[in-house]
Amino acid sequence: MSSQFKARAHASSIALFVVCLALPAMAGSVKSYKYTEAVTGVKNTKVTASFSFNSTTDKISGTLSFTGGNTFNGITDNFSGKATCNKAGSCVYTVNAKVNGDTISYTIDLNQTVLTSANGSIWNKKNDGTFAYAPAPMAEATSRLDFLVPAGMVMFGGIVLCRNRRRDHQEA
């Protein structure tokens, strides 16, 4: 095998590897969330929320479970449906349910596949409580281009390096 063929094969392998790494950035994804928060207004009660969001189909499914205290202990609501999303990627999903005479209202806000906030309330004839969750801000990609542009730059850099290397071998 010629060294030129080996260099091209090596460059092609690297390019294919980088493309394979970048492909998940183009595909929709399923992201899962779980958190536990205190229910304000109801003594010793916590809510645990867990749900998954599929950004390709905008479908969401999950569970709200209340524990502790005497009032809402053991109340659980399973939910699923389609979030309402705009073209910018902001999505909202609202749950309104009645479980054993208790009413639950719950709203989830997502931006792309990042949970921005979740809040809700639970009440009956005698008691009511509220809960809210706001994740700590973190640097996240805001669009698919945030992944693809660096991948393209790496590929372009690899091409330039291979050309320079090939040119050096031809001059020698």
66-97 tens-digit pLDDT: 999 889 999 999 999 999 999 888 999 999 99
Q: Rounded to a whole number, what is the distance in angstroms from the first to the last CA of the chain?
A: 18
CA atoms within 13 A of residue 111's CA, in its CB half-sphere = 11
Q: Compute the distance between CA of residue 77 and CA of residue 64 in angstroms, rounded to an integer.
A: 5
Sheet of strand 76-82: strand arrangement: 30-38, 46-54, 59-67, 76-82
Confidence of residue 1 (pLDDT cuts 50, 70, 90): low
Look at residue 136 and tell me whether its pLDDT is greater than 70.
yes
Q: Compute the distance between CA of residue 78 and CA of residue 75 in angstroms, rounded to an integer.
A: 10
Q: Which residue reads 């973190």 in tokens?
A: 138
User: pLDDT > 90: what percent of the chain?
Assistant: 52
